[in-house]
Amino acid sequence: MIPRRPVRSLYCNLRHDRAIEERKRDRRRRGTPAAAAIPATGSGALTERKTLCVGIDVSSRHLDLACCDGWGVPVGRTHSFPNSPAGIEALCDALVASGQKPGSDLQIIAGLESTSDFHRPAAKALSAETRVSIEVHVLNPRKVKWFRHLELKDTKTDRVDAELIARFVAKIRPQPQAVVSEGCVQLQDATRTRRRCMEERSRLKNRLHRLLRSY
């Protein structure tokens, strides 16, 4: 005759097995091993994450800057700089100061939307920075808009947009872009201007035809 195990022992083993399964499920949901605890945000977190993702919202007058780490956790406060040579220089100095802190070997990845030609001075200055290495990405605004829809964000301000761009850079990690010469940039501008003029001409012609048919 097979001896019976006490009911209490079976119940304890069942609870133990269930606790193990729940811990395994939580690890899979987080996507990180149990030993990899996420450190708190702050100045000490930068030296551990090794990546500083920078989002810059560009307008004709201001450059709003927000930072997060490689996991998309915000770091520091959002800052605003004038979109002028002095403001762009101050923005570069702020990023250089972050990359040159003692004990911080940061990889700085900056992203800014393509906004007419207002983004070009800042992108050019960041790419030409020699004090620290900054990986610069000029982003398609439609991709950032789709990312906003994925995050279900409705609020749209300059600072919120800068934070959104920083998270986009952290989570999507855009591919490095080829260096475009100044001649190619001018050719792109001329092509876009020609296309806009042709679209405007077609619109005015259609409007004129409607007016002539009405009389």
The amino acid sitting at 94 is A
Spatial strand order of the sheet with 51-58 comes to: 79-82, 62-69, 51-58, 107-113, 134-139
The amino acid sitting at 90 is A
Residues 84 and 125 in one domain: yes
Adjacent-strand bridge partners of 57 = 64
Torsion of CA 198, 203, 204, 209, to 10 degrees: 130
| Residue 62 near residue 81, CB atoms below 8 Å | yes
Domains held by the chain: number: 2
Residues 78 and 147 in one domain: yes
d(CA 198, CA 215): 26
d(CA 171, CA 148): 12
Query: Residue 74: inside a domain, yes or no?
Result: yes
Which residues span the domain enclosing 211? Answer: 180-215
Query: Residue 117: inside a domain, yes or no?
Result: yes
Residue showing tokens 């800042």 = 122
Residues 74 and 94 in one domain: yes
Query: Residue 70: inside a domain, yes or no?
Result: yes
User: How do the pLDDT tens digits run along the chain, 215 residues long?
Assistant: 555 544 444 445 545 566 666 666 666 655 433 333 333 444 444 444 588 899 999 988 899 999 998 888 888 888 999 999 999 999 999 888 877 665 557 788 999 988 877 888 898 899 888 888 888 998 988 889 898 888 887 778 888 999 999 999 998 888 776 666 777 877 877 888 899 899 999 999 999 988 888 77
d(CA 63, CA 57): 6
